[in-house]
Structure formats: C-alpha cells, structure tokens
Amino acid sequence: MKSFIAANWKMNKTIAETREFLRDFIPSVKDVADVDIIIAPPFTSLAAAGEALMGTNVQLASQDMFWEEKGAYTGEVSPAMLLDTGCRHVIIGHSERRQYFHEDDAVINKKIRAAKKAGLGVIFCCGESLEEREADKTFDVIGREIEKGLEGVDAENLVVAYEPIWAIGTGKTASPEQAQEVHAFIRERLRKLYGSAAEDIRILYGGSVTPENVELLMACRDVNGGLVGGASLKPDSFAKLVCYKKEK
C-alpha cells in the first residue's frame, strides 16, 4: 500500500512563508514516487500553494470546509472554492475543530458527504482524549466517531487519521504498540462498514510524528502514513518524514 503523509500547518504561515517553504521543499522530494505527499496550508495560502504545486508530485489539501455549496455563510469556504485553488483533499473532523469549534459527529458527517459529492478526497480524523483513554473509553469513542462520522459515506478516496488528542502538540507519542492496537481496531470497524474495500483505506497516525519516530510507527502493520503537525513546518524536517524509507 502506498504511504500517505500529510502536513497540517494549522494556523501557521503567511502567503510569502508558504511560497518560501515550497520553493525549498519541492526539489527535495521530487524523486519520491512511493508516497502520496500532501500539504494543508491555511485558507489564505491555498491559492498560492496550488500554483506552486502545479505539475509536481505534491498534492494540496484544505484543513476544513463548509458543507453548503454557496450562500449566506459569512467566513466559510465551500468545496467548489477549494477545488478552484487546486485542492484534492480536505481534512475533516480534526480534534481541534471538535474541541474549539464544537463540531459534533453530525456536523462532521455533513462535511464529509459534501466533500465526497464535490469530488474531494477526505482525510477523516478520529481520536480520544487523555481522560477518555485513562477511563478505558478509547474504543468506545473511536467506534462512535467512525460509525456516526462515516454514516452513508463510501470508501472511495477516503483516508482515516487516528490522532490521540493527548499526543497532539505535546511531544508525547503513542508507542508503536498503542498505535497498532488502535489502528487494528479502526481497520476492523472499516471492514464492518466497507467489507474488503477497507483493506485499501490508508489509516494515518497523527500525534507528534517526527523524523525520529516515523520509522517505528510506519513499521506497524496497520499504520499507512502520518498526519504531521509541528514537524511539517520546516522543509527539511518534513522532507525527512516523506523520505523516511530512504533515511533507514
């Protein structure tokens, strides 16, 4: 299965900084053919990034979107607007959207359906908090998020990202054993939804992925890539992650 490594820049980088990053990054990964490379800059940088990435082996993604095609939704961005900038994917259900913007499973499902209808690939995020893990509710939480978030959604062009909330931006990382345990659970839930098609869905790990731990995580049977935050903000760091096979 081809690996899938995505950079989620969150609320970082101006247009000028985006162009500078891509100017340095693109040449360093131009020969990589066995990894799908994705960059998700903030909304303001999407158009500039789309122009810079045209004709390269790096794909553009958005960090979020709204579910309506157009209308009186001040401050929102539609699927068509993302496609217009060159986006091929969109991240939906990130824990920060759930936490800070109170997006529940129903909202996330509407966004996923709208993205799929428009022809965008979906990077669907799920994961548990520290309190939920300590209360032994990890599988309950993730099972619910998958069941509700993916209701009525087909498997085509779908990527699932497991992001333990307790490991995001904290420097803490799930051990390979912890990551594999949850990824195997996710794979089994996807089998119940999609049958044999679940075997082709990439499941990413997201939670303080770095060049130092990527090899151990990627060695896990059901870890097919990474959703990378802080370590994706510097061209050399993210290039090392993308080229982890060559770095061995």
- Residue 63 sits at φ, ψ, to 5 deg, of -85, -10
Residue 82 lies in a domain: yes
Instruction: Count Cβ atoms within 10 A of the Cβ of residue 228 and give its class: 0-12 exposed, 13-18 middle, 19 or more buried.
Output: buried
Looking at residue 117, its amino acid is: K
Q: Which of 96, 103, 145, 163 is catalytic?
A: 163
Predicted confidence band of residue 48 (pLDDT cuts 50, 70, 90): very high
24: left (phi over 0), alpha (psi -120 to 50) or beta: alpha
Contacts of 50 (CB under 8 A, 6+ apart): 60, 85, 86, 87
Return the DSSP state at 40: E
Residue 71 is given by DSSP the state S
Q: Are 178 and 200 in contact (CB under 8 A)?
A: no
- At 184-243, the pLDDT tens digits run 999 999 999 999 999 999 999 998 899 999 999 999 999 999 999 999 999 999 999 999
Residues sharing a CB contact under 8 Å with residue 85, sequence separation 6 or more, in sequence order: 46, 47, 49, 50, 60, 62
Establish whether 94 is a catalytic residue.
yes
Q: What is the pTM of this model?
A: 0.96
Q: Please report whether residue 248 resides in a domain.
A: no
Which residue range forms the structural domain that includes residue 32?
Answer: 3-242
Beta strand pairing status for 121-126 and 35-40? unpaired
In DSSP terms, 4 is beta-bridged to 36, 225
User: What is the per-residue pLDDT across 70-119, written as a single tens digit (0 to 9) for each?
Assistant: 999 999 999 999 999 999 999 999 999 999 999 999 999 999 999 999 99
Of 7-21, 61-75, 171-185, which range is least confident?
171-185
The pLDDT, as a whole number, for residue 7 is 98
Query: Rounded CA gap, 209 and 196, in Å?
Result: 29
Mean pLDDT of 16-21: 98
Q: Is 163 designated active site?
A: yes
Single out the catalytic residue among 89, 94, 103, 128.
Answer: 94
Q: Is residue 51 part of a domain?
A: yes
pLDDT score of 171 more than 90: no
In a domain, 14, yes or no: yes
| Counted domains in the chain | 1
In 63-188 the beta strands, taken as DSSP E runs, fall at 87-92, 121-126, 158-162
Residue 228 lies in a domain: yes
For residue 7, is it within any domain? yes
CATH number at residue 136: 3.20.20.70
If pLDDT is split at 50, 70 and 90, which confidence band does 246 have? Answer: low
CA distance 27 to 23: 7
pLDDT above 90 coverage of the chain, percent: 91
DSSP state of 14: -
Q: Which of 4-8, 23-27, 131-135 has the lowest mean pLDDT?
A: 131-135
Reduced to 3 states, what is the DSSP secondary structure of residue 189? helix
Whether residue 247 is contained in a domain is answered as no
Instruction: Quote the pLDDT of residue 247.
Output: 53
Residue 120 has a pLDDT of: 98
Whether the CB-CB separation of 122 and 160 falls below 8 Å is answered with no
pLDDT at 11 over 50: yes
Round to the nearest angstrom and report the end-to-end CA distance of the chain.
19
User: What integer pLDDT is reported at residue 245 of this predicted model?
Assistant: 80
